[in-house]
Amino acid sequence: MEVIIQPTYAQLVAVSAEIIRGALLKKPNLVLGLATGSTPIGLYEALARMHKTEGLDFSAVTTFNLDEYVGIPRSHPYSYHTFMETHFFNAVNIPAENRHIPQSTAVEHEEFCELYEAAIVNAGGIDIQVLGIGKDGHIGFNEPSSSLGSRTRIKTLTQGTLEANAPHFGGTVDAVPKMAITMGVGTIMEAKQCLLLANGESKAEAIAHAVEGPITAEVPASVLQMHPRTVVIIDEEAASQLKRVAYYKQVYANKQKLLSGGYYDKS
Ligand code: PGA
């Protein structure tokens, strides 16, 4: 696992946006897996700025979102469909037909979930999956105890997740949808690269368990230790419970040196 620790959220965003920019310049028809929540908002703003100021082109990009609540219309102000329009899609040129978000109103859930998985495969698989992390270590809406091999399906949200999302639903837990469609942990693990982003003290424990703890369904993000190309990009606060901070910083500094050619003896 590559762990990149940045002093601030703004710098964390800059590093993650640069990874996506680099990948998109190499592969214009990039397939992006996208996350909602407060963490990736700065990343979407940075990518939108790149689109506006330097013409970074998203016209051949395909996207797949991780999850969506079940039981609220797409037009609900706090649906993830609305979130993506507001924070990203309205500001870049990804064709509408290339954007995929699980369908919150699908009645035939099982069939829908299978079709969603098939659409990812048909698109050639996800090149880069953006992930946030819940305080309980969830990725997507894969709550603790989710099978580490799970596929896209409906999950019941934990009380903690309902409470974390209550501010978006008028402050009352009762108003938060109790279920969500989410890509499975196994689905996420098939992405060619994962970018796990986290900032703030409230994520420190989850990050410590995910990065340095045992691999366990109790902390679904911990399975990313088995992923060959996961980059964890976090700020100092989210890194504050990690044991190997000095080593991660050394690894990152050496990688920058290698990439710039500065590591080699030029004689
Ligand atoms: P957040 O949510 O980015 O709003 O903290 C992350 C998550 O729960 O997956």
Give 91-130 pLDDT, tens digit per residue: 999 999 999 999 877 678 889 999 999 999 999 999 999 9
227 assigned to some structural domain: yes
CATH number reported for the structural domain that contains residue 253 in this entry? 3.40.50.1360
Q: Is 112 exposed, middle or buried (0-12, 13-18, 19+ CB in 10 A)?
A: middle
Q: What is the CB neighbour count within 10 angstroms for residue 256?
A: 11
Q: Which domain covers residue 222, as residue numbers?
A: 2-260
Residue 188 falls inside a structural domain: yes
For residue 267, is it within any domain? Answer: no
Instruction: Give the tokens for residue 52.
Output: 């506006």
Coil, helix or strand for 21?
Answer: helix
Confidence label for 259 from pLDDT (cuts 50, 70 and 90): confident
| Domain-embedded: residue 97 | yes
**Average pLDDT, stretch 36-56?**
97
CA-to-CA separations, 62 to 24, 70, 78, 93, 98, in angstroms, rounded: 11, 23, 23, 11, 5
Task: Report the atom number in ligand 1 closest to the C-alpha of 139.
Answer: 9
Q: Based on the structure, what is the number of domains in the chain?
A: 1
Residue 266 belongs to a domain: no
Per-residue confidence (pLDDT) for residue 184, from 0 to 100: 98
Domain membership of residue 58 (yes or no) is yes
Is the residue at 265 inside a domain? no
Q: Per-residue pLDDT averaged across 35-43, rounded?
A: 97
Active-site pick, 68, 117, 136, 235:
136
Instruction: For residue 38, tell me if it sits in a domain.
Output: yes
Kindly give the distance from the C-alpha atom of residue 135 to the centroid of ligand 1, in angstroms, as a whole number.
8
Q: Of residues 81, 87, 100, 138, which has the active-site annotation?
A: 138
- Please pick, among 143, 209, 227, 235, the residue that the annotation labels catalytic: 143
Mean pLDDT value of segment 192-208: 98
Mutate to test the pocket of ligand 1, among 13, 16, 38 (most ligand atoms within 8 A of CB): 38
